[in-house]
Amino acid sequence: MSEQNTVLAVRRGRFGFIEKWGFLTWLIAVVLMIATGGIWLFVIIGWHYDDILLPKYYCNQCDAEVPKRDFRA
């Protein structure tokens, strides 16, 4: 992420955070959604509000967040 070490910034999709979920996270989310009558879905959406409205860019090699100010013009 410098002039000598450039990377490719990939924009993650609006619901890209779900790709990072493992089996245990899915299990807990489904159980909580059933137990709370779906209210937990709104908690998850509220928690990831920024990711849904303004998806971020990530390094294609190390998955680190790349701020827009580091892009070349």
pLDDT of 29-69, one tens digit each? Answer: 999 999 999 898 899 989 988 888 888 888 888 888 888 88
SS3 string, the chain, reads CCCCCCCCEEECCCCHHHHHCCHHHHHHHHHHHHHCCCHHHHHHHHHCHHHHHCCCEEECCCCCECCHHHCCC
Domain count, the chain: 1
Q: Are 14 and 51 in contact (CB under 8 A)?
A: yes
Residue 1 scores a pLDDT above 80: no
Residue 30's pLDDT is what?
92
Domain of 19? 9-70
Residue 10's pLDDT is what?
84
Q: Is residue 2 part of a domain?
A: no
Other CB atoms within a 10 A radius of the CB of residue 30 amount to 11
Q: Is residue 4 part of a domain?
A: no
Tokens of 26: 């899915």
Q: Is residue 27 part of a domain?
A: yes
Q: Is residue 18 part of a domain?
A: yes
Residue 71's pLDDT is what?
79
> Per the confidence metrics, is the pTM higher than 0.75?
no
